[in-house]
Structure 1
Amino acid sequence: MAKNGGPGKGRHGSVKGRTQSYNPRTGMWTKSNTATGRFMDTKTSGGPFKGVTRKH
């Protein structure tokens, strides 16, 4: 499992079991579960999620 490191040290590892894709209709990134395929969250603050694999 990915964990946030101490201040200034960054993330340890990548997030497993999740992917993200860009939704051109909304202009936002959407995170989904790879096992079920269900959408989990949409990033509203701009830019992609950190540490989550991008799906094209």
Structure 2
Amino acid sequence: MAVNKPVSDNARKGAVKKRSQVKAKPGGATAWTKRSKKSGEFIAVKKPAKKSKAAKKFEGVRVEKKAGKKKARSGGRR
């Protein structure tokens, strides 16, 4: 996990390992959900503030990439 020394520095040294985050829409508002890479279970949800529509990301936690659609190549003649 990330190292948070020295105590009075108030800064993280390095990324948070063994964690990832996913964007989700629980209840219609965009939120970030933190997930354990080892077990796959969801750990925490960061919901948006009352007035905003989107939540802020977890600091130092990598974002999971979505499985994207493959682009179809055109098989036409040249």
TM-score with structure 1 setting the length: 0.80
> Does 2:20 match 1:19?
yes
User: Relative contact order (C-alpha < 8 Å, sep 6+): which is higher?
Assistant: 1
CA RMSD of aligned residues (A): 1.5
- Decide which structure has greater strand share: 1
Out of 20, 31, 34, the residue aligned to residue 34 of structure 2 is: 31
Structure 1 unpaired stretches of 5+: none
Residue identity matched to 1:34: K
Aligned length: 53
TM-score with structure 2 setting the length: 0.60
- Decide which structure has greater helix share: 2
Higher-Rg structure is 2
**In the alignment, which residue of structure 2 is the partner of 1:4?**
4
Structure 2 unpaired stretches of 5+: 49-54, 66-78
Give 4+ residue runs of structure 1 displaced > 3 Å after superposition.
none
